[in-house]
A and B are shown apart, each in its own frame.
Chain A
Amino acid sequence: MSTHEYYVDGDPIADTKAPDGPINERWERRRFTGRLVNPSNRRKLRVIVVGTGLAGASAAATLGELGYRVSNYCFQDSPRRAHSIAAQGGINAAKNYRNDGDSVYRLFYDTVKGGDFRSRESNVHRLAEVSTEIIDQCVAQGVPFAREYGGLLDNRSFGGAQVSRTFYARGQTGQQLLLGAYQALERQVAAGTVELHTRHEMLELVVVEGRARGIVVRDLVTGEVTTEIGDAVVLATGGYGNVFFLSTNAKGCNVTASWRAHRQGAYFANPCYTQIHPTCIPQSGEHQSKLTLMSESLRNDGRVWVPKAHGDDRAPADIPEDERDYYLERRYPAFGNLVPRDIASRAAKAVCDEGRGVGPGGLGVYLDFADAIGRLGEDAVKAKYGNLFDMYERITGENPYERPMRIYPAVHYTMGGLWVDYDLQSNIPGLFVTGEANFSDHGANRLGASALMQGLSDGYFVLPNTISDYLADGPFEAVPEGHEAVDAARKAVDDRIAFFLGNDGDRTVDSFHRELGKIMWEYCGMERTDEGLRKAIGLIRDLKDEFYKRVKVTGKAAELNQELEKAGRVADFFELGELMCIDALHRTESCGGHFRAESQTQDGEALRDDEHFSYVAAWEFAESEPVLHKESLEFEYVKPTQRSYK
């Protein structure tokens, strides 16, 4: 069936900055061909960095060290609270400290394959190369990674990898990496190179004569709206998993910065690629405001199972071994409990759909540590996972040392994001995008411990090198007061605020967000169908209309107004949600986290369609139908094969 009623075809696009030649020389070549900015000129250039997570703080700190004038923004009260702080499990790097056969090439290979052949080889190879420098950098900053008795760094293997290349700091790796970047950032604040604006939210991008030149921000404490002008804008504003309302993301995570840029012309790539994480604590009721991840590292020692019999509601300890179905070990003997996330999530959904799920509503499977405790002892298990077990108990009231955890998949990460070229520049000159906010390195599925790696790779090493090629043409002409582009951006923000506060509504923002999330989860979640997606698009459009008619926002503009903040974010989620469904509808193949029920192998695995879909779908905003630009993907090194973890 044609899906063309929802979009129009545009011209194909190419990544014009991607170097060619042998893959292991491309990054070096690009660094050499990119132009540099003379140190004495750098202080004449102002770079606006939005976001203080791993991708933003590392970029802002490094650009400051290089001598640029940096203005850095976040909506939290401190840069240290960016959502990156919550990452638990670890960060990958091809150090091969274990001598277990790892290498840059293997990390590259695993990431391309793990992404189900929907990422760019050049980018992924660069990521793998840079990975080793990240660990060096973080250790030099004093990041307290886990160590062995000899004093050297410890490693573990992480979801889907057969080598131990994951560096970690107990279950708080993201926290420690972010604090490292945050401290480097605060050092630059003290040095006067970075100006920090916390509790500020970017609400619009300013594009002047085709270049990204600034942002419109609202001071969340006073409500004051201002326009900030610079020579380049970097968005490091994170992922959009909260379009589902319930996700493992922090409550404030949102798509507004990216979406506003998209509305100004920046392409949004592969929006439907979302990652559903298999090991989260199941929902307990309607009051649920977020879902909590239980680190994937738990699958190293925990065994996943459900009862063999449908509707078996005995306590787990009363179910004998031979009446349990360790379904991952059964279906995937080679990888067992360590299959990649998308596969583990779908397998959990499948057993629950069969009526074999456990816990409230039958939406859960067991993650059982009894064997590990028997083998290693409770103390060893506690040393490895103690904080996660404590967290589980606080949330559920159940003790996982005695009773298997209940887990269920939840939205976790978004591989899609603003389209960028090899330089991390969007199609709007001067607009750069780093970290989870861009689309570039993980294809249709991200491997565990690779987001932290990408965020820091982008921020510490890639962007500071590539942005100079653009800034070499600066400083750009001053943007005069009252320039029409500035006024228009400013007016759009003011109008929106006035609309929300003036609307005579009767429903809360959260009630709409929850309902939108349900639609997204039902039809654009773990399994997608042509029929379901069409239905979802209709439901989203109707709900969006109702939102504008009935949403009620209390309070004033000139004060701390958390309802107003939420209203703007949810408004953008509506538009994004629709685009995600259109993207998912047009991609009739299954790949990575995108599973189309119509496209599966006989034994229920995702079936790619390389002939028709080996491309990045980059969407251009239009008030009517979005325009699809395709960037075709070439695989010179890792030849596409059907992924198999059997």
Chain B
Amino acid sequence: MKLRLRIWRQAGAEDKGKMVPYVIDGISEDASFLEMLDVLNEQLIAEGEDPVAFDHDCREGICGACSLMIDGQAHGPQGATTTCQLHMRQYSDGDTIDIEPWRAGAFPVVKDLVVDRSSFDRIIQAGGYISAPTGTAPDAHAVPVPKPDADAAFSAAACIGCGACVAACPNGSGMLFMAAKVAHLGLMPQGQPERHTRVLGMVAAHDEAGFGGCTNTGECSAACPKEIGLDVIGRLNADFRKAATRAA
């Protein structure tokens, strides 16, 4: 198929950046979206132009590296699908596709479609863990975990840290990402001792990193390729209230 692409090009963090049109032909419907960009890049290099920079690694929807706004939608039109798992059979010959980086205050653009998401790591540093130094663990069966809790914890832990939630949020909030971790750890018995310090620390780091506040628009969950539900935000808020009252 033949496509018209309009891609955000920005040489570096200081550059202003703009949308640049490209035409690409002969794309197979079995190709993935990133493979389509590979073909474009091969073409650009052949013409002596700088290829389009974009983040990617696993190309199977699990590492969370890929991160494109496609026609205004984080990870494109298909539900529960990362950009790397989006395939060109979702498009038709002659389509025009706009491709932009994540846009959020806490995710500055590095180059073209690549953004800096290290603010997510800083949120985890501020408490997104259970303190269990190597070698100190009791037998794995010492503490049974009710299956529904374990399953719910898993669903929250399935977050791949891609940042689609932030990109989709009109406020650029990192609430869903943060709440998914708070819920995962808070649902496990091992996570109880640090439950309150965790949520306070993470929320402070979140705000400091320049993420916006959450106004419950729900765009985050709709854009999440792992379908993390809004219920985790409810859990975070409840934990936060309790922790803040205690600390006060």
Contacts and interface: CB of A to CB of B under 8 A. Distances in A.
Interface in B125-147: 125-126, 128-141, 143-147
Contacts of A187: 125, 129, 131
Interface string A604-643: 0000000000000000000000000000000000000000
Interface in B155-207: 157-158, 160-161, 184-185, 188, 190-191
A250 B144 contact: no
B140 A135 contact: yes
A76 to B, nearest CB: 6
B116 interface: yes
Nearest to B145: A151
B62 interface: yes
B134 A147 contact: no
Q: Which of A61, A140, A396 has the most CB of B within 10 A?
A: A140
B59 A289 contact: yes
Interface string A85-105: 110000000010100000000
B45 A554 contact: yes
B150 A147 contact: yes
B18 interface: no
Contact of A151 (B46, B135, B137, B146): B146
Contacts of A176: 154, 157
Given A186-B124, A285-B30, A86 B118 contact: no
Interface string A59-89: 0011001000000000011111101011000
Contacts of A506: 46
A508 B38 CA distance: 11
A17 to B, nearest CB: 21
Contact of A511 (B42, B80, B153): B42
A86 B31 contact: no
A136 B135 CA distance: 9
Interface in A163-193: 169-170, 172, 175-176, 179, 182-184, 186-187, 189-190
Nearest to B49: A554
A147 B147 contact: yes
Contact of B32 (A83, A175, A289): A289
B208 interface: no
Contact of B38 (A78, A79, A289, A391): A289
A497 interface: no
Given A83-B58, A510-B38, A97 B184 contact: no
A285 B27 CA distance: 11
Nearest to A289: B35
Contacts of A24: none
Contacts of A314: none
A621 B150 CA distance: 50
B130 A141 contact: yes
A554 B50 contact: yes
Contacts of B36: 287
Contacts of A399: none
A562 interface: yes
B59 A560 contact: no
A77 B45 contact: no
B129 A250 contact: no
Contact of A65 (B65, B133, B151, B160): B133
B119 to A, nearest CB: 10
Given A86-B63, A97-B141, A395-B85, A179 B30 contact: no
Contacts of A287: 27-28, 30-31, 35-36, 38-39
B46 to A, nearest CB: 7
B65 A81 contact: yes
A394 to B, nearest CB: 5
A379 to B, nearest CB: 15
Contact of B64 (A81, A198, A562): A81
B57 interface: yes
Interface residues of B, number: 82
Contacts of A292: 59-60
Nearest to B185: A142
Nearest to A560: B111
Contacts, number: 224
Interface string A145-172: 1111111110000000000000001101
A250 B59 contact: yes
B134 A464 contact: yes
A391 B124 contact: no
A226 interface: no
A511 B51 CA distance: 15
Contacts of B212: none
B89 interface: yes
B53 interface: yes
Contacts of B55: 77
A179 B130 CA distance: 11
B188 A142 contact: yes
A142 B141 contact: no
Nearest to B133: A65
B231 interface: no
A182 B185 CA distance: 14
A83 B64 CA distance: 11
Contact of A86 (B60, B117, B137, B157): B60
Interface string B57-83: 111111111000000000000101100
A250 B134 contact: no
B141 A152 contact: yes
B21 interface: no
A391 B35 CA distance: 17
Nearest to B132: A140
Nearest to A61: B134
Nearest to A97: B141
Contacts of B143: 139
Contact of B190 (A141, A511, A552): A141
A562 B57 CA distance: 12
B7 interface: no
B114 interface: yes
A559 B110 CA distance: 10
A3 interface: no
A575 B172 CA distance: 46
A85 B50 contact: no
Contacts of A65: 133-134
A170 B153 CA distance: 12
Contacts of A153: 140-141
A62 B134 contact: yes
A285 B61 contact: no
Contacts of A250: 57-59, 63
B120 interface: yes
Contact of A184 (B49, B86, B129): B129
A292 B61 CA distance: 10
A461 interface: yes
A380 to B, nearest CB: 15
Q: Which of A79, A169, A183, A288 has the most CB of B within 10 A?
A: A183
B78 to A, nearest CB: 8
A515 interface: no
A460 B134 contact: yes
A137 B130 CA distance: 11
B38 to A, nearest CB: 6
A345 B139 CA distance: 37
A136 B154 contact: no
B193 to A, nearest CB: 11
Q: Which of A86, A95, A562 has the most CB of B within 10 A?
A: A562
B17 interface: no
B48 A554 contact: yes
B56 interface: yes
Given A86-B63, A250-B57, A397-B89, 18 more contacts: A78-B118, A85-B160, A136-B139, A139-B190, A140-B137, A144-B154, A151-B147, A175-B62, A190-B125, A250-B59, A288-B35, A289-B59, A394-B61, A396-B30, A508-B45, A555-B50, A560-B12, A562-B51
List the 8 closest A-B pairs by CB distance, nearest first: A151-B144, A183-B129, A140-B137, A140-B132, A136-B137, A284-B30, A144-B154, A139-B140
13 contacts: A58-B134, A77-B65, A78-B121, A139-B190, A144-B150, A148-B147, A151-B147, A172-B62, A250-B57, A287-B38, A289-B34, A395-B32, A555-B50
